[in-house]
Protein backbone atom coordinates (compact mmCIF):
# COMPACT_ATOMS: atom_id res chain seq x y z
CA UNK A 1 0.00 0.00 0.00
CA UNK A 2 2.90 2.35 0.22
CA UNK A 3 4.14 4.53 3.01
CA UNK A 4 0.87 6.20 3.94
CA UNK A 5 0.59 7.00 7.62
CA UNK A 6 -2.78 5.70 8.83
CA UNK A 7 -3.02 8.38 11.52
CA UNK A 8 -2.71 11.19 9.00
CA UNK A 9 -5.28 9.39 6.81
CA UNK A 10 -7.63 9.22 9.81
CA UNK A 11 -7.13 12.95 10.54
CA UNK A 12 -7.77 13.70 6.87
CA UNK A 13 -11.07 11.81 6.88
CA UNK A 14 -12.37 13.74 9.90
CA UNK A 15 -11.12 17.09 8.60
CA UNK A 16 -12.78 16.52 5.22
CA UNK A 17 -15.99 15.43 6.94
CA UNK A 18 -15.97 18.64 8.99
CA UNK A 19 -15.44 20.71 5.83
CA UNK A 20 -18.32 18.95 4.04
CA UNK A 21 -20.67 19.50 6.99
CA UNK A 22 -19.70 23.18 7.09
CA UNK A 23 -20.28 23.49 3.32
CA UNK A 24 -23.71 21.86 3.61
CA UNK A 25 -24.69 24.30 6.37
CA UNK A 26 -23.41 27.32 4.40
CA UNK A 27 -25.31 26.15 1.32
CA UNK A 28 -28.59 26.04 3.27
CA UNK A 29 -27.89 29.55 4.60
CA UNK A 30 -27.15 30.80 1.05
CA UNK A 31 -30.40 29.24 -0.22
CA UNK A 32 -32.39 30.87 2.60
CA UNK A 33 -30.82 34.26 1.82
CA UNK A 34 -31.44 33.80 -1.91
CA UNK A 35 -35.11 33.06 -1.19
CA UNK A 36 -35.52 35.91 1.30
CA UNK A 37 -33.80 38.67 -0.67
CA UNK A 38 -34.36 37.65 -4.29
CA UNK A 39 -37.02 34.97 -4.84
CA UNK A 40 -39.70 36.13 -2.39
CA UNK A 41 -39.56 39.79 -3.55
CA UNK A 42 -39.66 38.54 -7.16
CA UNK A 43 -42.75 36.45 -6.43
CA UNK A 44 -44.40 39.43 -4.65
CA UNK A 45 -43.80 41.71 -7.66
CA UNK A 46 -45.06 39.01 -10.00
CA UNK A 47 -48.20 38.57 -7.86
CA UNK A 48 -49.06 42.24 -8.38
CA UNK A 49 -48.57 41.95 -12.14
CA UNK A 50 -50.59 38.74 -12.40
CA UNK A 51 -53.49 40.25 -10.43
CA UNK A 52 -54.08 42.65 -13.34
CA UNK A 53 -54.96 39.61 -15.45
CA UNK A 54 -57.15 37.93 -12.86
CA UNK A 55 -54.47 35.38 -11.97
CA UNK A 56 -53.87 34.65 -8.29
CA UNK A 57 -50.35 33.83 -7.20
CA UNK A 58 -49.63 31.97 -3.98
CA UNK A 59 -46.20 31.40 -2.43
CA UNK A 60 -45.36 28.52 -0.16
CA UNK A 61 -42.03 28.01 1.57
CA UNK A 62 -41.36 24.68 3.21
CA UNK A 63 -38.57 24.36 5.73
CA UNK A 64 -35.33 25.76 4.38
CA UNK A 65 -35.03 23.77 1.17
CA UNK A 66 -38.06 24.55 -0.96
CA UNK A 67 -40.01 27.54 -2.24
CA UNK A 68 -42.84 27.40 -4.73
CA UNK A 69 -45.36 29.58 -6.40
CA UNK A 70 -48.63 28.56 -7.91
CA UNK A 71 -50.62 30.49 -10.47
CA UNK A 72 -54.34 30.04 -10.82
CA UNK A 73 -56.32 29.91 -14.00
CA UNK A 74 -57.50 33.44 -14.83
CA UNK A 75 -60.45 34.42 -12.63
CA UNK A 76 -60.36 31.06 -10.85
CA UNK A 77 -59.08 29.57 -7.60
CA UNK A 78 -57.83 26.40 -9.29
CA UNK A 79 -54.08 26.09 -9.80
CA UNK A 80 -52.91 26.02 -13.41
CA UNK A 81 -49.14 26.36 -13.08
CA UNK A 82 -46.59 25.60 -10.38
CA UNK A 83 -42.92 26.64 -10.22
CA UNK A 84 -40.86 25.06 -7.44
CA UNK A 85 -37.24 25.75 -6.55
CA UNK A 86 -35.52 23.33 -4.22
CA UNK A 87 -32.15 22.71 -2.70
CA UNK A 88 -31.36 19.00 -2.99
CA UNK A 89 -30.63 17.19 0.28
CA UNK A 90 -26.97 17.15 1.32
CA UNK A 91 -26.00 19.85 -1.20
CA UNK A 92 -22.54 21.29 -0.67
CA UNK A 93 -23.08 24.08 -3.22
CA UNK A 94 -25.97 26.16 -4.49
CA UNK A 95 -27.20 24.07 -7.43
CA UNK A 96 -30.98 24.18 -7.40
CA UNK A 97 -33.60 21.90 -8.81
CA UNK A 98 -36.65 23.25 -10.59
CA UNK A 99 -39.97 21.50 -10.97
CA UNK A 100 -42.54 22.99 -13.32
CA UNK A 101 -46.09 21.63 -13.37
CA UNK A 102 -49.08 22.72 -15.37
CA UNK A 103 -52.47 21.61 -16.60
CA UNK A 104 -54.71 22.70 -19.46
CA UNK A 105 -57.97 22.73 -17.53
CA UNK A 106 -59.06 22.90 -13.88
CA UNK A 107 -60.03 19.21 -13.98
CA UNK A 108 -57.04 18.12 -16.07
CA UNK A 109 -53.99 16.18 -14.95
CA UNK A 110 -50.83 18.05 -14.05
CA UNK A 111 -47.87 17.47 -16.34
CA UNK A 112 -44.58 17.82 -14.54
CA UNK A 113 -41.04 18.55 -15.72
CA UNK A 114 -37.91 18.35 -13.53
CA UNK A 115 -34.84 20.32 -14.56
CA UNK A 116 -31.96 22.33 -13.16
CA UNK A 117 -32.61 25.96 -12.24
CA UNK A 118 -30.70 28.17 -14.68
CA UNK A 119 -28.28 25.37 -15.63
CA UNK A 120 -25.68 27.64 -17.21
CA UNK A 121 -24.99 29.44 -13.92
CA UNK A 122 -22.60 28.40 -11.18
CA UNK A 123 -23.43 28.71 -7.47
CA UNK A 124 -21.76 32.13 -7.08
CA UNK A 125 -23.64 33.48 -10.13
CA UNK A 126 -26.99 32.32 -8.73
CA UNK A 127 -26.39 34.50 -5.67
CA UNK A 128 -25.89 37.50 -7.99
CA UNK A 129 -29.26 37.12 -9.73
CA UNK A 130 -31.76 39.94 -9.41
CA UNK A 131 -35.45 39.60 -8.71
CA UNK A 132 -36.04 40.57 -12.36
CA UNK A 133 -33.92 37.58 -13.46
CA UNK A 134 -36.11 35.27 -11.38
CA UNK A 135 -39.34 36.87 -12.64
CA UNK A 136 -38.19 36.46 -16.25
CA UNK A 137 -37.35 32.79 -15.61
CA UNK A 138 -40.80 32.15 -14.14
CA UNK A 139 -42.45 33.97 -17.05
CA UNK A 140 -40.40 32.05 -19.62
CA UNK A 141 -41.53 28.72 -18.14
CA UNK A 142 -45.12 29.97 -17.78
CA UNK A 143 -45.18 31.23 -21.39
CA UNK A 144 -43.77 27.96 -22.71
CA UNK A 145 -46.37 26.01 -20.76
CA UNK A 146 -49.29 28.21 -21.90
CA UNK A 147 -48.24 28.18 -25.55
CA UNK A 148 -47.71 24.41 -25.51
CA UNK A 149 -51.08 23.86 -23.81
CA UNK A 150 -52.81 26.01 -26.42
CA UNK A 151 -51.18 24.36 -29.43
CA UNK A 152 -51.09 20.65 -28.60
CA UNK A 153 -54.02 18.34 -29.16
CA UNK A 154 -55.63 16.75 -26.09
Looking at the domain assignment, is residue 75 inside a domain? Answer: yes
Q: How far is CA 32 from CA 8, 62, 94, 133, 153, in A?
A: 36, 11, 11, 17, 40
Summarised one tens digit per residue, pLDDT across range 140-149 is 999 999 898 8
Could you tell me how far CA 69 lies from the centroid of its own chain? 10
Summarised one tens digit per residue, pLDDT across range 15-52 is 999 999 999 999 999 999 999 999 999 999 999 999 99
Looking at the domain assignment, is residue 1 inside a domain? Answer: no
Write down the pLDDT at residue 45: 96
Smallest CA-to-CA distance from 141 within 108, 106, 120, 116 is with 116
Looking at the domain assignment, is residue 115 inside a domain? Answer: yes
Write down the pLDDT at residue 138: 97
User: What's the count of helices (H) and strands (E) in the chain, helices before strands?
Assistant: 4, 5
Core vs surface per residue 60-72: b (16+ CB within 10 A) or e: ebeeebbbbbbbb
How would residue 150 be classed by pLDDT, with cut points 50, 70 and 90?
confident
Looking at the domain assignment, is residue 97 inside a domain? Answer: yes
When divided into structural domains, the chain yields a total of 1
Looking at the domain assignment, is residue 137 inside a domain? Answer: yes
pTM given for the model: 0.87
Write down the pLDDT at residue 63: 75
Write down the pLDDT at residue 154: 65
Q: Tell me phi and psi for residue 88, to 5 degrees.
A: -60, 150
State how far the Cα of 96 lies from the Cα of 51, in Å rounded to an integer.
28
**Strand residue runs (E) in 21-64:** 57-62
State how far the Cα of 91 lies from the Cα of 29, in Å rounded to an integer.
11
How would residue 108 be classed by pLDDT, with cut points 50, 70 and 90?
confident
Judged against a pLDDT cut of 80, whether residue 1 lies above it is answered with no
Summarised one tens digit per residue, pLDDT across range 58-74 is 999 887 789 999 999 99
Domain range holding 119?
Answer: 6-151
Amino acid sequence: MGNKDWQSELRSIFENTRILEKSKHETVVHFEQFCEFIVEPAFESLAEGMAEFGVKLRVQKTKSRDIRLSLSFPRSKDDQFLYRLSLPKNSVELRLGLVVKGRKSPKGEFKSRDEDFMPGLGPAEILKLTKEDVILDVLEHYRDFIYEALTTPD
